[in-house]
Amino acid sequence: MSGFRLVAVENGVVIAAGPLGKLKTVFQMVSTIALMLFVPVEGPGGALSVVAVVLMYIALALTVVSGADYIWRNRDCIRDM
């Protein structure tokens, strides 16, 4: 997405991050911190480790959905490339 934004800027178009992208970033940060804290302490099967993994999968789903949304919202820029 960063490369896509750079190409858009070269064409005079500024693309702001959307709310899904910001939510994705929050889940990525929270899941990364949770994985680093809980998995080494409890091991892979602990309850908090499972929560951390679920957070990671939510971040993954949001990454795919926000990426698709980003491309869809800016499809005009893609056609102009």
CB 38, CB 48: distance < 8 Å: yes
In the chain, where the domains are located = 17-80
Query: What percentage of the chain carries pLDDT values higher than 70?
Result: 96
The CA-based angle 70-32-51, given to 5 degrees, is: 100
Residue 23, pLDDT > 90, answer yes
pLDDT tens digit sequence for 35-70: 999 887 777 778 888 999 999 999 999 999 999 998
